[in-house]
Amino acid sequence: MHAPSYRPDALIGEDIETYLDRHRDKSLLRFITCGSVDDGKSTLIGRLLYDSKQIFEDQLASLEADSRRVGTQGENIDFALLVDGLAAEREQGITIDVAYRFFATDKRKFIVADTPGHEQYTRNMVTGASTADLAVILIDARKGVLTQTRRHSYLAHLIGIRRIVLAVNKMDLVGYGEAVFDRIVADYRAFAASIGIADFLAIPVSGLAGDNIAGPSGNMPWYSGPTLIGHLEAVPIDAEQGQRAPFRLPVQWVNRPDHAFRGFAGLIASGTVRPGDPVRVLPSGRTTTVARIVTLDGDLPQAVAGQSVTLTFADEIDCSRGCVIAAADAPPEVADQFEATIVWMADEEMLPGRPYWLKLGTQTVTASMQHPKYQVNVNTMEHLAAKTLELNAIGVANLSTDRPLVFEPYETSRDLGGFILIDKLSNATVGAGLLHFALRRSQNVHWQALDVTRERRAALKNQKPAVLWLTGLSGAGKSTIANLVEKKLARMNRHTFLLDGDNVRHGLNKDLGFTDADRVENIRRIGEVAKLMTDAGLIVVTAFISPFRAERRMVREMMAPGEFVEVFVDTPLAEAEARDVKGLYKKARAGELKNFTGIDSPYEPPEHPELRIDTTTMSPEQAADLIIERLIG
Amino acid sequence: MNETAGIESASALRLTHLQRLEAESIHIMREVVAEADRPVMLYSIGKDSAVMLHLARKAFFPAPPPFPLLHVDTTWKFRAMYELREKAARAAGMELLVWRNPEARAKGINPFDHGALHTDLWKTEGLRQALDHYGFDAAFGGARRDEEKSRAKERIFSFRSANHRWDPKNQRPELWHLYNARKARGESIRVFPLSNWTELDIWQYIHLENIEIVPLYFAARRPTVERDGLILMVDDDRFRLRPGEVPVERSIRFRTLGCYPLTGAVESTAATLPDIIREMLLSPTSERQGRAIDKEAGSGSMEKKKQEGYF
What is residue A353's predicted lDDT score, i.e. its pLDDT? 87
What is residue A452's predicted lDDT score, i.e. its pLDDT? 81
What is residue A66's predicted lDDT score, i.e. its pLDDT? 67
Q: Write down the pTM of the prediction.
A: 0.80
Residues of chain A in contact with residue B173, where contact means CB-CB under 8 angstroms, are 98, 123-124, 126-127, 345, 420, 429, 432
Q: At what angle do helices A516-535 and A549-558 cross, to 10 degrees?
A: 20
**Closest Cβ opposite residue B299 in set A17, A28, A62:** A62
pLDDT: which is higher, B180 or A37? B180
Of B155, B177, B201, which residue is a domain's last?
B201
Evaluate if residue A406 carries a pLDDT over 90: yes
What is residue B72's predicted lDDT score, i.e. its pLDDT? 93
Evaluate if residue A424 carries a pLDDT over 80: yes
Is B195 within 8 Å of B55 (Cβ atoms)?
A: no
Q: What is the pLDDT of residues A581-631, one digit of tens each?
A: 888 898 888 888 888 888 888 899 998 999 999 999 999 999 999 999 888
What is residue A136's predicted lDDT score, i.e. its pLDDT? 94
pLDDT: which is higher, A420 or A199? A420
What is residue B194's predicted lDDT score, i.e. its pLDDT? 96
Of B180, B201, B222, which residue is a domain's last?
B201
User: Is residue A6 very low, low, confident or very high in pLDDT (cuts 50, 70, 90)?
Assistant: very low
Evaluate if residue B297 carries a pLDDT over 50: no
Min mean pLDDT across A74-78, B97-101, B125-129 is at A74-78
**Closest Cβ opposite residue A257 in set B15, B62, B145:** B62
Letter for the amino acid at B175?
L
User: Is residue A1 very low, low, confident or very high in pLDDT (cuts 50, 70, 90)?
Assistant: very low
Would you call A611 helix, strand, or coil by DSSP? Answer: strand
What fold, for A9-236?
A: Rossmann fold (3.40.50)
**Closest Cβ opposite residue B184 in set A58, A310, A427:** A427
- Is there a common fold for A9-236 and A242-327? no
**Residue B106 resides in a domain:** yes
A196 is an annotated ligand-binding site residue: no
What is residue A78's predicted lDDT score, i.e. its pLDDT? 66
Question: Do B37 and B68 fall within a single domain?
Answer: yes
pLDDT: which is higher, A10 or B142? B142
Contact A253 B146 (CB under 8 A): no
Question: Do B74 and B218 fall within a single domain?
Answer: no
Residues of chain A in contact with residue B175, where contact means CB-CB under 8 angstroms, are 126-127, 130-131, 418, 420, 432
What is residue B80's predicted lDDT score, i.e. its pLDDT? 92
What fold, for A335-441?
A: Elongation Factor Tu (Ef-tu); domain 3 (2.40.30)
Contact A26 B17 (CB under 8 A): yes
Q: What is the pLDDT of residues A241-286, one digit of tens each?
A: 788 899 999 999 999 999 889 999 999 999 999 999 999 999 988 9
**Residue B288 resides in a domain:** yes
What is residue B1's predicted lDDT score, i.e. its pLDDT? 35
CATH of A242-327, one of 3.40.50.720, 3.40.640.10, 2.40.30.10, 3.30.420.10: 2.40.30.10
Is B309 within 8 Å of B127 (Cβ atoms)?
A: yes
Largest CA distance in chain B: 76
Q: What is the pLDDT of residues B213-234, one digit of tens each?
A: 999 999 999 999 998 888 999 8
Would an 8 Å CB–CB cutoff place A109 in contact with chain B?
yes
Evaluate if residue B300 carries a pLDDT over 50: no
Q: How far apart are CA B30 and CA A155, in angstroms?
A: 31
Per the structure, the complete domain to which residue B293 belongs is given by: 212-300
Q: How far is B237 from chain A (nearest CA, A)?
A: 33
Is A526 within 8 Å of A504 (Cβ atoms)?
A: yes
Q: How far apart are CA A266 and CA B27, in angstroms?
A: 7
Question: Do B174 and B246 fall within a single domain?
Answer: no
Question: Do B24 and B172 fall within a single domain?
Answer: yes
**Closest Cβ opposite residue A99 in set B60, B152, B178:** B152
Average pLDDT over residues A466-472: 94
Q: How far is A134 from chain B (nearest CA, A)?
A: 14
Residues 6+ apart with CB under 8 A from A223: A178, A181, A203, A204, A212, A216, A217
Beta-carbon count within 10 A of A88 CB: 13
Average pLDDT over residues A1-10: 50
Question: Do B155 and B191 fall within a single domain?
Answer: yes
What is residue B292's predicted lDDT score, i.e. its pLDDT? 43
What fold, for A454-632?
A: Rossmann fold (3.40.50)
Would an 8 Å CB–CB cutoff place A549 in contact with chain B?
no
Would an 8 Å CB–CB cutoff place A334 in contact with chain B?
no
User: Is residue A21 very low, low, confident or very high in pLDDT (cuts 50, 70, 90)?
Assistant: confident
Q: What is the pLDDT of residues A323-376, one digit of tens each?
A: 999 999 999 999 999 999 999 999 899 999 889 999 999 999 999 999 999 999
Q: How far apart are CA A593 and CA A590, in angstroms?
A: 8
Q: Phi and psi dihedrals of A533, rounded to 5?
A: -70, -35
Evaluate if residue B4 carries a pLDDT over 50: no
Evaluate if residue A172 carries a pLDDT over 50: yes
Question: Do B268 and B288 fall within a single domain?
Answer: yes
Helices (H) and strands (E) in chain B, counts: 11, 10
Q: Provide the b/e sequence for B212-249 (b: ≥16 CB within 10 Å).
A: ebbebbbbeebebbeeeebbbbbbeeebeeeeeeeeee
What is residue A335's predicted lDDT score, i.e. its pLDDT? 92
- Give the ipTM: 0.88
Percent of chain B with pLDDT over 70: 86
**Residue B113 resides in a domain:** yes
Contact B152 A101 (CB under 8 A): yes
A224 is an annotated ligand-binding site residue: no
What is residue B294's predicted lDDT score, i.e. its pLDDT? 42
User: Is residue B11 very low, low, confident or very high in pLDDT (cuts 50, 70, 90)?
Assistant: low
Question: Do B183 and B230 fall within a single domain?
Answer: no
Average pLDDT over residues B174-199: 92
Residues of chain A in contact with residue B12, where contact means CB-CB under 8 angstroms, are 240-241, 243-244, 304
Q: What is the pLDDT of residues B150-159, one digit of tens each?
A: 677 788 998 8
What is residue A618's predicted lDDT score, i.e. its pLDDT? 92
Q: Provide the b/e sequence for A214-236 (b: ≥16 CB within 10 Å).
A: bebbebbeebeebbbbbbbbebe
Q: Which helix (H) or strand (E) holds B4?
A: helix B2-10
Average pLDDT over residues A136-159: 90
User: Is residue B10 very low, low, confident or very high in pLDDT (cuts 50, 70, 90)?
Assistant: very low
Contact A23 B299 (CB under 8 A): no
Number of structural domains in chain B? 2
Question: Do B159 and B267 fall within a single domain?
Answer: no
* Peptide bond connecting B62 to the previous residue in cis, omega within 30 degrees of 0: yes
Q: How far apart are CA B231 and CA B240, in angstroms?
A: 14
- How do A539-543 and A496-500 pair as beta strands? parallel
Mean pLDDT of chain A: 86
Percent of chain A with pLDDT over 70: 88
| CA-based torsion, A547, A551, A555, A557: positive or negative | positive
Q: What is the pLDDT of residues A476-524, one digit of tens each?
A: 999 999 999 999 998 888 899 999 877 788 888 888 888 888 888 888 8
Q: Which of A100, A205, A200, A95 is nearest to A157 (CA)?
A: A200
User: Is residue B115 very low, low, confident or very high in pLDDT (cuts 50, 70, 90)?
Assistant: confident
**Residue B11 resides in a domain:** no
Is A130 within 8 Å of A159 (Cβ atoms)?
A: yes
Average pLDDT over residues A27-42: 81
Q: Which of B273, B246, B216 is nearest to B77 (CA)?
A: B216
User: Is residue A563 very low, low, confident or very high in pLDDT (cuts 50, 70, 90)?
Assistant: very high
What is residue B236's predicted lDDT score, i.e. its pLDDT? 82
Give me the torsion for CA of A321, A322, A326, A328, rounded to 10°. Answer: -90
Average pLDDT over residues A423-434: 92
Q: What is the pLDDT of residues A443-458, one digit of tens each?
A: 544 455 567 888 888 8
